[in-house]
Structure 1
Amino acid sequence: MNISLHYEERGEGFPIILLHGNGGSCEYFSHQIEYFSKDYKVIALDTRGHGKSDRGIAPFTIRQFAEDLYFFMNVHKIKKAHILGFSDGGNIALCFALKYSYMVEKLIINGADLVPSGVKCRIQIPIKIGYKVAKMFSSRNTMAMLKAEMLKLMIDEPYISSDELKKLSMPVLVMAGTKDLIKSKHTRLIADSIPGAQLIFIKGNHFIAQKNCKEFNYAVEEFLRK
């Protein structure tokens, strides 16, 4: 890996790694970092090209982000961890767990999708329009170029087969909001495709970790304690 990923670390104990969503940063998990640091070593990452992390020159893809996580864990001598991924972070976590299952103790997936069509149409349409606009100005404006790159990620990725998920053998918790931008049937498909996966819908929208943190944290805590 030719870049350094920014991260926030707090607490001691078995590590739990938090992966934020598209366009976000580790700050999204402010309520989780404080809460879980009582019992775990919490490590919240900024994905490549997000927050305070470098962009680098490698492809801007979900699978590249999963490789970045692999190298990060090796550099920091983390042999195994709980992984909690939100939105695109959930997609990264799935790709990582499929390739490096021996490094994942328990997996928590919140608001993830296997394919772009897992996102509700009323959300996808503005994203596609925003991408076209940003792309028009990307050759003349650095911010527009970065915006286009991030929006393109949501249009083109991920592409994970539900059959692939049958390979996962670690305990998995699949979560989404009751009014999530991910289709509920798609969230159910993810859970149904993973052997023994637990499925929980929490009252709220896509951002339940922030807006309904009490219920979100309780559900994650109960899952990790089992």
Structure 2
Amino acid sequence: MRIDNFYKVKGEGFPLVLLHGNGENHRYFIHQIRYFSKYYKVYAIDTRGHGKSPRGDELLSIDLFAEDLYYFFERNNIEKANILGFSDGGNIALSFAIKYPYMVNKLVLNGANMFEKGIISKVQRKIRKAYIVEKYTHTEEGYKRAEILNLMINSPNISIESINKLKIETLIILGTRDLIKKDHVMLMHRKLKNSVLEYVEGDHFVAYKNFKIFNEKVRKFLV
């Protein structure tokens, strides 16, 4: 079932689409909306089941979110855009680019992973524990939180073969103390033939916590 994603739009010019991470909403990108709207028409989207976007009836998945993004492009008459995705948003962006490469100009992947083992084991164990706790609270809110957490346990499932075919210019950004494994990101970098890898001082949330450096690197790449 198609949904109409909630979104904020600001600025004029070539489209720049922002995709937040797991359990968040468009407000994660407050510093990017303010900065990049000086140069682009920025669309900051709430993913299905997040923020103010409806959940719909289907099982939540990265592939479903990528299809939602395709519909969002159609609904807003966006033929092609730059996409910046953080964490699960990066996974959505990558999945979308694999399926609809002609709709992506440049791609920015911040803290993204191709499959769940790309997350540091200690962190993955915490996610699984939180998932079990939420699932067995037997409350509606607990089930909702468990469903969102499950996205980091059983997805994404992006094949190395599929990204190896991508020719889109891609910037991969990783925090120096990120929860994504460095060797996993290096593998992604090697297989994305037209990619650049940059590190920003900080943890997984560098776009929010170290936004000046982050924004400078993204702006330099997009120009």
Aligned-residue sequence identity (percent) comes to: 50
What is the DSSP-based 3-state SS (H/G/I as helix, E as strand, rest coil) of the residue aligned with 1:17? Answer: strand
Say if 2:31 is the partner of 1:28.
no
Q: Structure 1 residue 164: deviation in Å?
A: 1.2
For the aligned residue pairs, the C-alpha RMSD in angstroms reads: 0.8
Q: Work out the CA distance in 2 between the residues paired with 1:48 and 1:62.
A: 10
Q: Work out the CA distance in 1 between the residues paired with 2:168 and 2:2.
A: 30
Q: Structure 1 residue 75: deviation in Å?
A: 0.8
What is the DSSP-based 3-state SS (H/G/I as helix, E as strand, rest coil) of the residue aligned with 1:156? Answer: coil
What is the DSSP-based 3-state SS (H/G/I as helix, E as strand, rest coil) of the residue aligned with 2:153? Answer: helix
Contact kept? 2:2, 2:68, Cα under 8 Å: no
The aligned counterpart of 1:109 is: 109
The aligned counterpart of 2:167 is: 169
Name the aligned partner's letter for residue 222 of structure 1: K
The aligned counterpart of 1:128 is: 128
Q: Structure 1 residue 163: deviation in Å?
A: 1.9
The aligned counterpart of 2:195 is: 197
Q: Structure 1 residue 109: deviation in Å?
A: 0.4
The aligned counterpart of 1:69 is: 69
User: Structure 1: which 5+ runs fail to align?
Assistant: none
Q: Work out the CA distance in 2 between the residues paired with 1:201 and 1:55.
A: 34
- Per the normalisation by structure 2, the TM-score is 0.98
CA deviation vs aligned residue, 1:47-84 (integer Å, no higher than 9, x gap): 00001100011220000000000001001110000000
Ranges of 4+ aligned residues in structure 1 off by more than 4 Å: none
Contact kept? 2:115, 2:157, Cα under 8 Å: yes
Q: Work out the CA distance in 2 between the residues paired with 1:2 and 1:190.
A: 31
User: Structure 2: which 5+ runs fail to align?
Assistant: none
Q: Structure 1 residue 201: deviation in Å?
A: 0.8
Q: Structure 1 residue 2: deviation in Å?
A: 3.0
What is the DSSP-based 3-state SS (H/G/I as helix, E as strand, rest coil) of the residue aligned with 1:206? Answer: coil
The number of aligned residues is 223
* More off after superposition, 212-221 vs 154-163: 154-163
The aligned counterpart of 1:142 is: 140
The aligned counterpart of 1:89 is: 89
